[in-house]
Amino acid sequence: MKFHRAVALLLLVAFISPLVAQQAPRTPNAQRSRTLKSSEMAAIEQDFAEALSLVEENYVDGNRLNYNNLIKSSIIGMLRSLDPHSNYYDRREFEELRNDQRSEYYGIGASIVDRRVGNQTDTYILATFENSPAALAGLRFGDRIVAVDGQPMRGRPSAEVRDRIRGPRGTVVKVTVERAATGRIETVEITRDAVAQPSVPDAYMLRPGVGYVDMTRGFNVTTAEELEEALERLRQRGMNGLILDLRNNPGGFLDQAIRVAEKFLSDGQVILTQKGRNLTADRTYRATNNSPDMTPLVILISRGTASASEIVAGAMQDHDRALIVGENSFGKGLVQSIIPLDYGAGLTLTSAKYYTPSGRLIQRDYSNGSYYDYITRGGVGSQDEEAPTVTKPTGPESHTDTGRPVYGGGGIMPDEQVKPRLIKPEQQRLIDPIFAFVRELVNGRIAGFDSYRVQRPIEYNHELQPTDFPVTDALYNAFKSFVANNPAYKNLASLIEPNQEFVRRQIRFDIVTAAYGTTAASRVYVADDPQVARAIELLPRARELALAARNRAPRQKSFE
Which residues are part of the catalytic machinery? 307, 318, 332
Distance CA 313, CA 324 (A): 7
Which DSSP category does 219 fall into?
B
Q: Compute φ and ψ for 22, nearest 5 degrees.
A: -65, -25
Q: Which residues are CB-neighbours of 235 under 8 A, at least 6 positions away?
A: none
Q: Which residues are CB-neighbours of 477 under 8 A, at least 6 positions away?
A: none
Give Cα separations from 233 to 198, 228, 229, 369 (angstroms): 16, 9, 6, 46
CB 491 within 8 A of CB 418: no
**Residue 304 is which amino acid?**
G
Distance CA 444, CA 438 (A): 10
Distance CA 444, CA 394 (A): 57
Distance CA 320, CA 550 (A): 9
Give the residues across from 111 on adjacent strands. 127
Q: Compute φ and ψ for 549, nearest 5 degrees.
A: -70, -40
**Residue 206 is which amino acid?**
L
Element (H, E) at 347: strand 346-355
Distance CA 260, CA 287 (A): 10
**Residue 269 is which amino acid?**
Q
Q: Following DSSP, what letter does each residue of 270-326 receive, concatenated? A: EEEEEEESSGGG-EEEE---SS-----EEEEE-TT--THHHHHHHHHHHTTSSEEEE
Q: What SS3 state is found at 299?
A: strand
Give the residues across from 78 on adjacent strands. none
Distance CA 70, CA 9 (A): 11
Helical segments of 223-263, H only: 223-236, 254-261
Q: What SS3 state is found at 86?
A: coil
- Angle at 350 (CA atoms; ends 344, 352), nearest 5 degrees: 135
Q: At what angle do helices 254-261 and 223-236 cross, to 10 degrees?
A: 20
User: In whole angstroms, what separates CA 343 from the centre of its chain?
Assistant: 27
